Amino acid sequence: MGRIIEEIYVWRLPVRFYHWINALSIVVLMVTGLYIASPVLNPPPGEAVWQHNFVMWRYVHYCIAFVFIGNFLYRLYYALLSDDEYAKFGGFRPWSPAWWGEPFKEQVASYLFLRKDEPNYVGHNPVAALAHFIFIFCGSTFMILTGLAMYGENRPGSFVETAFGWLLPIFGSSYNLHFAHHVMAWIFPLYVIVHLYAVFRHDVVDRTSVTSSIITGYKHKVEDEHSL
């Protein structure tokens, strides 16, 4: 097999931490969120006032939601203020037609089996960057804003309600807001499937050790050698 010819430190510790905290919180938020929408467990025995079975699901959802928000903001902070070139989203310029040019087309063509060779990138390839922007950046922003607006409903007049309650009239009603939050949540499992597949596939096809890179931080360039 191939020989490792270069080792590149791509994902620094803060980025790796962000990734795994994000992944875990998305899983917890999805599970608790679906449960809150339709609780299925059997009711506990005894008097209602002794129990907190259902409210615990909401409590976990809220706690992890704030972890998710903090983590998201931390990642933006790291992108803006660190000197980590691979974490800065510097190459992502969807507003410029040049960005949609050759590299993007090449990558799409490669995914559609229209090219023989696989373009290789140290960071994210243009298609991956676009997917991250749509699903992770826009998706998270949407879920965070709608989520905080609903959280504010629990405490009228509170800071969260004052700061995010303006979303209710935009969505029309609290009901619409709940429904939008519920529907949009599904983009995350969808994204996870595509993301995992793309990562495993790149690992197999390009042999850049992209899968382990999110644990170790290192990607590898491999030189092809004919088997002996």
The site for other proteins (CB under 8 A) is made up of 34, 37-39, 41, 43-44, 48-55, 111, 113, 116, 153-154, 156-157, 165-166, 168-169, 172-179, 182-183, 185-186, 189-190, 193-194, 197, 201, 204-205
Nearer to other proteins by C-beta: 83 or 117? 117
Least distance in angstroms from the C-beta of 104 to other proteins = 19
Nearer to other proteins by C-beta: 75 or 181? 181
Least distance in angstroms from the C-beta of 204 to other proteins = 8
Least distance in angstroms from the C-beta of 18 to other proteins = 24
Least distance in angstroms from the C-beta of 70 to other proteins = 26
Measured CA distances, 95 to 35, 98, 101 (Å) = 39, 9, 12
Asked if residues 87 and 79 have their Cβ atoms less than 8 Å apart, the reply is: yes
Least distance in angstroms from the C-beta of 144 to other proteins = 19
Nearer to other proteins by C-beta: 29 or 177? 177
Nearest to 148 by CA among 51, 49, 65: 65
Nearer to other proteins by C-beta: 62 or 218? 62
Taking the alpha carbons at both ends of the chain, their separation in whole angstroms is 9
Nearer to other proteins by C-beta: 17 or 191? 191
Least distance in angstroms from the C-beta of 79 to other proteins = 27
Q: DSSP states of the chain as a string?
A: --EEEEEEE-S-HHHHHHHHHHHHHHHHHHHHHHHHHS--SPPPSS-GGG--HHHHHHHHHHHHHHHHHHHHHHHHHHHHHS--GGGS-TT--TTSGGGGSHHHHHHHHHHTT--SSPP--SS--HHHHHHIIIIIIIHHHHHHHHHHHHHHHTSTTSHHHHHHTTHHHHHSSHHHHHHHHHHHTTHHHHHHHHHHHHHHHHHHHH---HHHHHHH-EEEEEE-----
Nearer to other proteins by C-beta: 58 or 88? 58
Nearer to other proteins by C-beta: 16 or 115? 115
Least distance in angstroms from the C-beta of 4 to other proteins = 21
